[in-house]
Amino acid sequence: MSNTLGSKFRVTVFGQSHSPMIGAVIEGVPAGIAPDMEAISAFMARRAPGKDDLSTPRRETDAPKIIAGLNERGETCGAPLTAIIENADARSKDYDALRDVPRPGHADYAAAVKFGGHNDIRGGGQFSGRLTAPLCFAGALAMQLLKARGVRVQARIKSIAGIEDAPCDLAHPPLDAIAGEGLPCLDADAARHMADAIRAARDAGDSVGGVVECFATGLPAGLGDGMFDGVENRMARALFGIPAVKGVEFGAGFAAASLRGSANNDAFRVENGRVVTETNHCGGALGGITTGMPLVVRAAFKPTPSIALMQRSVSLGRMENAELTVQGRHDPCVVPRAVPVVEAVVACVALDMMLEGELSWN
Amino acid sequence: MSNTLGSKFRVTVFGQSHSPMIGAVIEGVPAGIAPDMEAISAFMARRAPGKDDLSTPRRETDAPKIIAGLNERGETCGAPLTAIIENADARSKDYDALRDVPRPGHADYAAAVKFGGHNDIRGGGQFSGRLTAPLCFAGALAMQLLKARGVRVQARIKSIAGIEDAPCDLAHPPLDAIAGEGLPCLDADAARHMADAIRAARDAGDSVGGVVECFATGLPAGLGDGMFDGVENRMARALFGIPAVKGVEFGAGFAAASLRGSANNDAFRVENGRVVTETNHCGGALGGITTGMPLVVRAAFKPTPSIALMQRSVSLGRMENAELTVQGRHDPCVVPRAVPVVEAVVACVALDMMLEGELSWN
Amino acid sequence: MSNTLGSKFRVTVFGQSHSPMIGAVIEGVPAGIAPDMEAISAFMARRAPGKDDLSTPRRETDAPKIIAGLNERGETCGAPLTAIIENADARSKDYDALRDVPRPGHADYAAAVKFGGHNDIRGGGQFSGRLTAPLCFAGALAMQLLKARGVRVQARIKSIAGIEDAPCDLAHPPLDAIAGEGLPCLDADAARHMADAIRAARDAGDSVGGVVECFATGLPAGLGDGMFDGVENRMARALFGIPAVKGVEFGAGFAAASLRGSANNDAFRVENGRVVTETNHCGGALGGITTGMPLVVRAAFKPTPSIALMQRSVSLGRMENAELTVQGRHDPCVVPRAVPVVEAVVACVALDMMLEGELSWN
Amino acid sequence: MSNTLGSKFRVTVFGQSHSPMIGAVIEGVPAGIAPDMEAISAFMARRAPGKDDLSTPRRETDAPKIIAGLNERGETCGAPLTAIIENADARSKDYDALRDVPRPGHADYAAAVKFGGHNDIRGGGQFSGRLTAPLCFAGALAMQLLKARGVRVQARIKSIAGIEDAPCDLAHPPLDAIAGEGLPCLDADAARHMADAIRAARDAGDSVGGVVECFATGLPAGLGDGMFDGVENRMARALFGIPAVKGVEFGAGFAAASLRGSANNDAFRVENGRVVTETNHCGGALGGITTGMPLVVRAAFKPTPSIALMQRSVSLGRMENAELTVQGRHDPCVVPRAVPVVEAVVACVALDMMLEGELSWN
């Protein structure tokens, strides 16, 4: 089910960068919910391109239109909720030459092999970051439902181009201290240096990557399912669906591999009649099941593969080496716009697990 | 489908650390294959406990018995291949006290919440690393099939306790240079230091973690499916099914987040009439689709949570803080035994993708 | 996955009778196919309402618009093919009173319980036969692909109101003898009597049901998968997705229950170097696997539940008995328009099985 | 997922007629349930062969052994519940000649094509009715859980060889009047005639089929999911997994196709503060969702294909016509032993739907 995420809250994304429309079909939305279109639009605006000098000049209003799934009162009715977004500012002429010479770091070549050369080359086709817009629609809806259950999902930029934001206590992430303006970091100085690094890369015709760290607080203990459907399995499967993600880790993550057990284990404590852990190196999940502590997950984004510099590639038609200079409008760093996308994906998975719910058989 | 991995080659794992048996049901095995039980046993022996002073003294022969799925000639017949392994050396008495006081770093508490206190506490129940034995059975079978297609899956220890093995060219991983004896590293000195670190942790009543790096060579370009079923999505979902994995990355992985696009992009070249990339920072997949270069994936293992040192926990019955000293037989580092497990999981996913195959409609 | 059909050729249907749009997302379409929009439109016209005096006067052009999934040359590109159809002639005012008094034979009451009263009551919401329009889009596309493989899917009306069409040889169904004009039967007299029965029911403010028999010829032997994913399992699951279907049978079907084994078994013969069966009581599948003979499946449609006669129901608000006269525009018999829908569903499932294909491992 | 049934209560069946063992892995069993092995054995005994002169003389004790999924107290623990049954009385020599000459009415030929001649021919391999033993294990467990929720699942023989049991009120099925001894019918005379018909067929070296009618009472309204996962879709998919089933219908079923809407619609009434229907032609489901009335489903079983009479077949090796006389021990009619199997399958699906439960989001 390649374009479908989730089991109870099932999001099927469709579209390509330059197809007439993109969108999502969402099955399993509880009935009786009136989507908060204002909140959804505000959330999607965080991802939309063309906001500042750090992102692509492509301008899309990204206004989702719900075409099915609501009753006459504007509430979800049990039918799949379906939303479409028009692709307005698509300039296909930029991409005409790319079918023969695949862009390094892009899916062009792999997709040409897989689809016998029929893949949609315009703007990266179905591999485009543009497909994260419907994901954000689904995520914003998921957040509306999660919020009503006391669950909050929020991400920050952990690093860009090797510049690190301040560390924080994973057991008590300071969500309100994440900047609401500019780059969403804890440390304003770090944010400034990151922005400078993006501009420097852009001016050099190059690009940079980074790491997004996402927190979900308020999740009850006991969510997730064994072995291959635990919290990490699902979150990882979902997050690798975001273009450019090359690594996913939870809690202490790769750093845990260098710790001793006595340092990495999170001691349990009783606090206000509730079991908590003193630290949160596990990132809120043990054995694939939530512990009730904040979920902490990080996704590593590679630098944007589209760069203005000349690159070495091949001509697939002539089967010989070739040079390539990528035209078009690109983000010198996808990380700032990826922050809400990571939140959206984490929210979709979190809601899915909550809807599966605990089995209250006895 | 919590205990099931794969779509065409579907592995369903069952059992607990101390259940009478553990095993796997494998649907979708091509018919007409005679399982090479010698090769399967040799592979499973790499995971089996009790081999040397670096692992748990629990001894299990781990001899899989195929109870269904073969015809009268001993070939797969299209029916689900089913294998069982007896749990011989289970000492349940070690674990009797644990139901009240959950072990830090283990699933005990989360599972108690999820399953209303009915989870199997003996030896970690279904969360035990013992469940990786049937995974290795499935993986060994997958490797037999992959080998017939020219695909080779092999892993090494990339680091233990922060001690790094030598770096290598991800575009041409030196699989034959990985040590067959002792810890499977490229650099014998590093391997020795890692072993020392494990022993030091053990002697201190503590434990260490590490990183396993796995390569799959010979995979054709064009495998994997879009968005949520690409190579990385599937591999990550599967690898997080191995107990103690807290991070998964591909190619340059998290390090890619610090690179510029011009450094991270893998230039295409024509080599012997084939399209290759000069480097392999992407780890063999772009847009979720294999490029035909080696697949490179790393899994970070946390230090074994079971340590002999006293730890802080809680009494769930009395809802008050408590202290805990874990009894039982444990690996001071799971990484050496995890190497074949990672190979097994990567092989299962790789075979699954190959069996889905390319659509030769036209 | 309630609104999704298929595994390799996956059709997700969305919409309600009176939502702005209805449509389908189709994953797994082989790349490089240019949808034959003329053939698709012609097929969908067979299902469209308002053609003659036997169907509802609601008029819909049912013109599907492909909004995603094609490359710049109009070929499928590996991305999900997505089509929308506008709901033009929806008269919601007809249905305002129905939320309190559920219509007998409709989903109103069951859906109100399931969705807490938030179900879309307008025109039957997601339970409307209107949702079969996107199914027909998917089916027409499937037929285009099947035709290129020599597979033909065609249905006839087997009976309406107890009036039976002529029997035929299930091993050699005379597809070309099915009438292309009027009711698709073999026997013109029977067709005339059926039409009369429909008109008589309509004039009495009542409705009638019937049975559709569908054939798929040209399917290779060996399709289908064991136990729960055999030919019959999949076809039945799919066909019960068509509103008003209350029974599904294959080959001799229920009549086989009265036969002796010696009469019901289909003898094998070699014919032109091919294994065939002399009869086809099994309907083209044994053990859930195609035999290479025509697939024969029948679906029983209940009489349209919407009738003009007064009916006994309840007021859910007052929890007391109530009377109901259904307003609106309804088919006195859904069977004629259901014929292409059954074909569409059978085609989708047949294509799905063909795309899964045979495992050519050795 | 060919051998897997269900979504929340997921049953994966494995084994062949003559494999060392057969069994089932059941995921999703609520934790804390102590399987009632006595009730399970009693239920399975109803299916076991060799009880009387109407069934095959093959004798199997069919004693299931639970090898995983229980905690130390014998309760389900959240891990997949796994049971095995040994194949004791397998006489493989009976089947040696069948690989070349496929048995009419059996899967032999279709399976040989699908699996390249590697299918297990012994006793029908994975297509054998023997595989219904693990289904009955799962069904008996499901019934234990359903019973605790007030749901009762019971079937009767509706007809054998065209001999019909007495009709009954589908809105109030007289479950207690179904005979507990001999053939489970309402009418003792009909039962006697059926038994005579079975013996007559047996004595003629032939076989007969029949129809099983199953009721599930006590199901709440609101179960089932839209379009392709409604009650009928799931039940039908599951029931066609029982060997020899060729038709499935609900409520009035195929007979509804001959009724007028005014006769077929079930009028709603308020009865004891509850909404009920006066009749139950719909069989307990409208729009794929339970109405709260008894679920009524019928499955048509073809006559046993294994008959002692000479039959026409082919030699696959020589590709020429051949004659065949089937050796071995066979039921002259599978219907009596199929009654508990139908109950088991209906129970598994009913429990699955109940575990998915209603979404109590608001």
pLDDT tens profile D281-317:
999 999 999 999 999 999 999 999 999 999 999 999 9
Contact D247, C245 (CB under 8 A): no
pLDDT exceeds 80 at position C91:
no
The whole-angstrom distance between B6's CA and the closest CA on chain C is 13
Query: How much of chain B is in helix, strand and coil states, percent to nearest 5?
Result: 30, 25, 45
User: Does residue C273 register a pLDDT over 80?
Assistant: yes
Whether D173 has a pLDDT exceeding 80, the answer reads: yes
Cβ contact, residue pair C27, A69, below 8 Å: no
Enumerate chain B positions whose Cβ falls within 8 A of a Cβ in C. Answer: 7, 30-33, 78-79, 145, 226, 355, 357, 359, 361-362
Q: Report CB contact under 8 Å: D107, C288.
A: yes
Decide if D362 is inside a domain.
no
Task: Give the pLDDT of residue B60.
Answer: 67
Closest to B236 measured CA to CA, from A297, A136, A249? A249
**Residue type present at position B64:** P
| In-domain check, residue A239 | yes
Q: Give the contacts of A97 (CB within 8 A, at least 6 positions apart).
A: none
| Residue B362 is assigned to a structural domain of this protein | no
Q: Which residues does residue D14 pair with via DSSP β-bridges, in sequence order?
A: D23
DSSP C260: B
Contact B343, B154 (CB under 8 A): yes
- Provide the pLDDT for residue C162: 97
Which residues of chain A neighbour D32 with C-beta distances below 8 Å? 361-362
Taking a C-beta distance cutoff of 8 angstroms, is the pair A337, A304 a contact? no
What radius of gyration do chain A's Cα atoms show?
A: 21
Tell me whether residue B264 is in a domain: yes
Is C362 in contact with B32 (Cβ distance < 8 A)?
Answer: yes
pLDDT of residue D95: 60
Of B3, B75, B111, the CB nearest to D80: B3
d(CA D46, CA D34): 22
Which residues on C lie below 8 Å from A31 (Cβ)?
A: 114-116, 118-119
- Quote the strand ranges of chain A, DSSP E: 4-5, 10-14, 21-27, 65-68, 81-86, 152-160, 163-164, 210-217, 245-250, 268-271, 274-277, 285-286, 289-290, 295-301, 311-315, 320-324
In which region does residue C6 sit, left (phi positive, over 0), alpha (psi from -120 to 50) or beta (all else)? left
Instruction: Tell whether C134 is covered by a domain.
Output: yes
Q: What chains are in contact with D, requiring at least 3 Cβ pairs below 8 Å?
A: A, B, C
pLDDT above 50 for B286: yes
What integer best gives the mean pLDDT of chain B? 93
pLDDT level of residue A359 (50, 70, 90 thresholds): very low
Task: Give chain D's radius of gyration (CA, Å).
Answer: 21
CATH code assigned at B142:
3.60.150.10
pLDDT at A358: 47
C358 pLDDT above the threshold of 50: no
* Unique residue bearing structure tokens 């485009």: A128
Assigned domain for B14 exists: yes
Cα four-point dihedral sign B116, B120, B123, B126 = negative
Span A290-341, pLDDT tens digits: 999 999 999 999 999 999 999 999 999 999 999 998 776 678 999 999 999 9
Q: Is pLDDT at A226 greater than 90 in this prediction? A: no
**How far is CA B192 from each of CA B160, B181, B183, B186, C209, rounded to the nearest angstrom?**
11, 12, 8, 11, 79
Segment among A239-248, B269-278, C95-104, D109-118 with least mean pLDDT: C95-104
Number of domains in chain A: 1
Inspect the interface and report whether the beta carbons of D78 and B118 lie closer than 8 Å: yes
Give the DSSP per-residue string, C292-351: SSPEEEEEEEPPPS--SS-EEEEETTTTEEEEE---S---S-SHHHHHHHHHHHHHHHHH
How many A/D residue pairs have CB atoms within 8 Å? 25
Tokens of B250: 């591909």
Pairing relationship of beta strands B210-217 and B152-160 according to DSSP bridges = antiparallel
Nearest CB partner across the interface for A269, out of B238, B290, B312 = B312
Q: In angstroms, rounded to a whole number, what is the distance separating the alpha carbons of residues A4 and A10?
A: 6
Nearest CA in chain A to D362: A32
Domain hosting D38: range is 4-356
Q: How far is B1 from D25, CA to CA, in rounded Å?
A: 12
* Residue C339 to residues C141, C157, C336, Cα–Cα distance (Å): 16, 7, 6
Chain A positions in Cβ-Cβ contact with residue C75 (cut-off 8 Å): 118
Contact residues on chain D for C302, CB-CB shorter than 8 A? 252, 256-257, 259, 261, 264, 281-282
Q: Greater confidence, A187 or C225?
A: A187
C185-221: per-residue pLDDT in tens? 999 999 999 999 999 999 999 999 999 999 999 999 9
Min Cα–Cα distance to chain B from D3, Å: 8
Question: Of A46-55, A159-168, D202-211, which gets the smallest average pLDDT?
Answer: A46-55
Q: Residue D92: which pLDDT band, with cuts at 50, 70 and 90?
A: low
Look at residue A356 in the predicted model and tell me its pLDDT: 87
Where b means 16+ CB within 10 Å and e means fewer, D120-148 reads bbbbbbbbbbbbbbbbbbbbbbbbbbbee
Residue B57's pLDDT is what?
A: 67
* Dihedral angle computed from the Cα positions of residues B173, B179, B183 and B188, in that order, rounded to the nearest 10 degrees: -90
Is the pLDDT assigned to residue C360 strictly greater than 60?
no
Whole-structure pTM value:
0.96
Task: Report, as an integer, the average pLDDT of B68-84.
Answer: 96
Across B300-323, average pLDDT: 96
Predicted confidence (pLDDT) per residue in B125-151, tens digit: 999 999 999 999 999 999 999 999 999
Facing A3 at nearest CB: one of B227, B277, B311: B227
Which of B57-71, B81-95, B202-216, C307-321 has the weakest average pLDDT? B81-95
A29 assigned to some structural domain: yes
Statement: residue A260 has pLDDT above 90: yes
Residues of chain A contacting residue D361, judged by C-beta atoms under 8 Å apart? 30, 32-33, 145, 355
Reduce the DSSP state of residue B133 to 3 states and report it: helix
Neighbours of chain C (3+ CB pairs under 8 A): A, B, D
Give the integer Cα–Cα distance in Å for A57 and A330.
8
| CA–CA gap between residue A245 and residue A300 (Å, rounded) | 5
Say if the Cβ atoms of D361 and A78 lie within 8 Å: no
Interface test with D, best of B10, B67, B98, B99 (most D CBs within 10 A): B67
In a domain, A251, yes or no: yes
% of chain A at pLDDT higher than 70: 93
Check C355 against B355: CB less than 8 A apart: no
Q: If you write DSSP's letter for every residue of D264-296 in order, what string do you get?
A: HS--EEEETTEEEESS-TT-SEETTEE-SSPEE
Among D8, D17, D72, D96, most B C-beta atoms within 10 A, so best to mutate, is: D72
Residues of A in contact with D30 (CB under 8 A): 359, 361-362
Gap from C147 CA to chain D (nearest CA, Å): 22
Contact A78 C111 (CB under 8 A): yes
C-alpha count within 13 angstroms, C-beta hemisphere, residue B294: 26
The answer to whether C226 contacts B355, with C-beta atoms less than 8 Å apart, is no
Mean pLDDT of chain A: 93
ipTM score for this prediction: 0.96
pLDDT of residue B359: 43
- Of the listed ranges A228-242, B96-110, C138-152, the one predicted with least confidence: B96-110
| Residue B78 clears pLDDT 80, i.e. is over it | yes
Mean pLDDT of C107-126: 94
Identity of the residue numbered C3: N
Distance between CA atoms of residues C220 and C272, nearest Å:
15
Distance from CA of D164 to the nearest CA of C (A): 10
Q: Which two tokens stand for residue A52?
A: 């500042």
Would you state the pLDDT for residue A360? 44
- Considering CB atoms only, which of B14, B80, B84 is closest to D80? B14
Name the nearest CA neighbour of D26 among D185, D159, D135. Answer: D135
**Residues D56, D337 contacting (CB under 8 angstroms):** no
Given this model, what pLDDT does residue D57 score? 67
Residues on chain A touching D146 (C-beta within 8 angstroms): none
Q: Quick check: D31 and A359 CB within 8 A?
A: yes
Query: Is residue B266 pLDDT above 70, yes or no?
Result: yes
Look up residue A332 and give its DSSP letter: S
Tell me the mean pLDDT in the region D189-215. Answer: 97
For an interface test with C, which of B149, B359, B360 has the most C Cβ atoms less than 10 Å from its Cβ? Answer: B359
